Amino acid sequence: MQSPRLVVRNFAQISEANIEFRDLTVLVGAQGTGKSLVLQWLKAAIDGKYIVNTLRDAGQEVSRKTMIDLIFGAGMSSAWRDTTQVTFDGRDVSPTTIERRGNGVEQLFFIPAHRSMLISDGWATPFQRLTSETPVVARLFSQNLFERFNARQGASLFPLDRLLKKVYRDLVNDAVFHGGTVGVEQNEQLAKRLRLRFSGAHETSLPFMTWTAGQREFTPLLLGLYHLLPPRKQKKDANVDWVVIEEPEMGLHPQAVTVVMLLVLDLLWRGYRVVLSTHSPIVVTAVWALQRLAAHSAPYQLVCDAFSVPPQYRRSLNAVASAALEKSCGTYALRYEGDKATAIDISSLDPGAEDDAVSGWGGLAGFSSQFAETVRRAVNNAPASVP
């Protein structure tokens, strides 16, 4: 079956991005190369009707003139020019056709970057309170968090036995929360707010802004993933087929990034098509490892080894790890050529490729190599007496 393809030409700083989406697709590139814009166009192409209906329900005046500003953020309308062209699977996606894209039900769930900024003083901001300066994908995600917080007043948000397998709960705890539990509690002003509680001899309940940066970034990511993990016997949300996660590594130690990537494998096993954008070499290394393991017909146990799954949990992840070896992966790098950015396919991730974008994984591996090369030259040129 042919993979879905999105083409974006001459929009903002993007000259051309021609992306074929596999089961797992990763976008890399320096800041300002247009990764977020590509992913927001994907959302518009799949869920245009849903977006427009939500905006109108919130009292926004949606028209051809205001469409780009409402979706991408106020001021972005100038990015749409006479030469701009966007297509998804060969069909036009434009200010006049967006509201006809999709069936009116959300089919792509988008977890944006800077997600912690959507939580003000420990509580998520509802859609209508975020202005049109905020891209619609962030407004929609914030509304999802707002509804989850309201539904869980006085209850735990982590750990949740019904949604996360024990292996994931344990790995998340070890990497992020270290014995803490996340819940909604009433503060001194009688307002409901997120708290991180530690029990024991010195019981502590910490407000959101005192958490570590990694805990503040990871918590909304985890709560977004809850939306995709039905508590009943079905493997996935019946409506949602796509998941976009921007910069899953934000604020996280490599141990925690590895746990997030293991959760991505769980999404793939459930049948979601997953798209990531990243600045993390660990994310791309995980994709490279999966491709190499699959090419060598590796057993699922090696996938568990690669993702640091403790031995006692490996059998429980047999299905997830085995499915990961059967999934297709694609990686694209957005890079500037002159004053415009272009997407190139670097899916082979071949370290021996002549194209630096491929061998350097879109620049993510190149900087480490440059440091190592500099040290090598210093060692080779140093006097014999220098250790």
Cα dihedral: 124, 129, 135, 139 (round 10): 40
Of 363, 308, 354, 263, nearest in space to 35 by CA:
363
Global confidence as pTM: 0.94
- Determine the Cα–Cα distance for residues 60 and 66; give it in Å rounded to an integer: 9
pLDDT digits (tens, 9 = 90+) for 133-166: 999 999 999 999 999 988 865 578 999 888 899 9
- Determine the Cα–Cα distance for residues 203 and 185; give it in Å rounded to an integer: 15
Q: Token pair for residue 152?
A: 């869980």
Assigned fold of 5-138+234-347: Rossmann fold (3.40.50)
How much is the mean pLDDT over the chain?
92
Residue with structure tokens 């630096």? 356
pLDDT digits (tens, 9 = 90+) for 68-101: 999 999 999 999 999 999 999 999 999 999 999 9
Query: Comparing 19 with 200, which gets the higher pLDDT?
Result: 19
pLDDT digits (tens, 9 = 90+) for 307-349: 999 999 999 999 999 999 999 999 999 999 999 999 999 999 9
Q: Is the pLDDT of residue 176 over 80?
A: yes
Q: Is the pLDDT of residue 29 over 70?
A: yes
**What separation in angstroms does the CA of 376 have from each of 95, 354, 368, 373, 384?**
54, 22, 12, 5, 14
Q: What is the pLDDT of residue 233?
A: 80
Is residue 12 packed enough to be buried (19+ CB in 10 Å), middle (13-18) or exposed (0-12)?
Answer: middle
Is residue 118 packed enough to be buried (19+ CB in 10 Å), middle (13-18) or exposed (0-12)?
Answer: buried
| CB 287, CB 331: distance < 8 Å | yes
Q: Kindly state the DSSP code that residue 175 receives in the 8-state scheme.
A: I
Name the H helices within 58-104.
Answer: 67-72
Sheet holding 24-29, edge to edge: 91-92, 80-88, 5-11, 14-20, 340-345, 329-337, 24-29, 273-278, 242-246, 108-111
Of 218, 213, 180, nearest in space to 196 by CA:
180
- Determine the Cα–Cα distance for residues 177 and 249; give it in Å rounded to an integer: 16
Domain residue ranges of the chain, discontinuous segments joined by +: 5-138+234-347, 350-381
Of 288, 292, 287, 213, nearest in space to 256 by CA:
213
Q: Is the pLDDT of residue 304 over 80?
A: yes
